[in-house]
Amino acid sequence: MSDDIKSIHEFDLNLICEYFAQVERQGPGSPEITRKALGFVEGLTDESRIADIGCGSGGQTMTLAQAVPGTITGVDLFQTFIDLFNRNAAGLGLQDRVRGVVGSMDALSFADEELDLIWSEGAIYNMGFERGLNEWRKFLKPGGTIAVSEASWFTEERPAEINDFWMSEYPGIDTIPNKVAQLQKAGYVPVATFIVPETCWIDHFYAPQVEAMERFLEKHKGNPAAEGFIANQRHEMKLYHKYKEYYGYVFYIGKKR
């Protein structure tokens, strides 16, 4: 990473929130891929309890809610996202089954063995894949399912530029076989693993940001923090296009043993 490129962790969280509130999704994914992952989940009923952790404004949660029965609780650290989430749920008439609450993924208030399904797209990295898998397991009923998407290496080796970028952003990134081993070790039977396709990054995540970046820069003209943040987002996007054969998001689906 060059000296003028900062880690996302160094930016003002309010600015990050305001920026990502402009787009439907805060991470790579798509309705098709959410439904594909759901295809590996069995036995949900009207009584099922589902959590979507790090739900953001709920792009994937609304897809989930339209595809499965049961009640869904979305949890996110930021009120801005939860307000949008609850507005989106109400707009789709889902408010009786889908509710967003503010909370931190490392201090969840679910009861032991309360949940049938834990969902989390592009968010478990905030506490780390292994730690999240280990700490969330107790909330699942025996035989319950966890489905998370997580940044992963596709190859054993990769160019230094992209390796260094990820090591500074998220040192927990690892190869798919290593992640599956971590899932198994945390007490789940690995049910399925698949790569989230490029279109989820390019069309569903980055494309909507092009206009959002312009709007954001216009609003925060002359604000170095906002300009620096957008420069970083553009750098990340450029790196994805350059190195997408080496990394991406992978869905990991496991059943609690």
123 binds ligand SAM, rule: CB under 6 A: yes
The yes or no reply on residue 30 touching ligand SAM (CB under 6 A) is no
Strand 247-256 with 140-153, pairing: antiparallel
Q: Give the one residue of 29, 70, 132, 248 binding ligand SAM; rule: CB under 6 A.
A: 29
Answer whether 88's CB lies under 8 Å from 176's CB.
no
122 contributes a contact to ligand SAM by CB under 6 A: yes
121 binds ligand SAM (CB under 6 A): yes
Could you tell me which residues come within 8 angstroms of residue 3 by beta carbon, excluding any fewer than 6 positions away? none
- CB nearer ligand SAM, residue 148 or residue 226: 148
Question: With binding defined as CB under 6 A, does residue 233 bind ligand SAM?
Answer: no
| Chain residues 86-105 in contact with ligand SAM, contact rule CB under 6 A | 104-105
Q: Which is nearer to ligand SAM, 109 or 155 (CB)?
A: 109
DSSP letter for 205, please. I
Among 27, 70, 100, 172, the residue binding ligand SAM under the rule CB under 6 A is: 27
Query: Residue 59 interacts with ligand SAM (CB under 6 A)?
Result: yes
Listed in sequence order, the DSSP H helices in 92-223 are 129-136, 160-169, 176-185, 198-201, 207-219
Q: Which stretch binds ligand SAM (CB under 6 A): 84-92, 116-124, 186-194, 196-204?
A: 116-124
Measured distance between the N- and C-terminal CA atoms of the chain, rounded to whole angstroms? 41
172 binds ligand SAM (CB under 6 A): no
Q: Which long-range contacts (CB under 8 A, 24 or more apart) does 31-34 make?
A: 31/60, 31/63, 33/196, 33/197, 33/200, 33/251, 34/60, 34/63, 34/64, 34/67, 34/121
By CB under 6 A, is residue 119 in contact with ligand SAM? no
The answer to whether 118 and 51 have CB atoms below 8 angstroms apart is yes
List residues near ligand SAM by CB under 6 A: 25-27, 29, 54-56, 59-60, 75-78, 81, 104-106, 121-123, 126
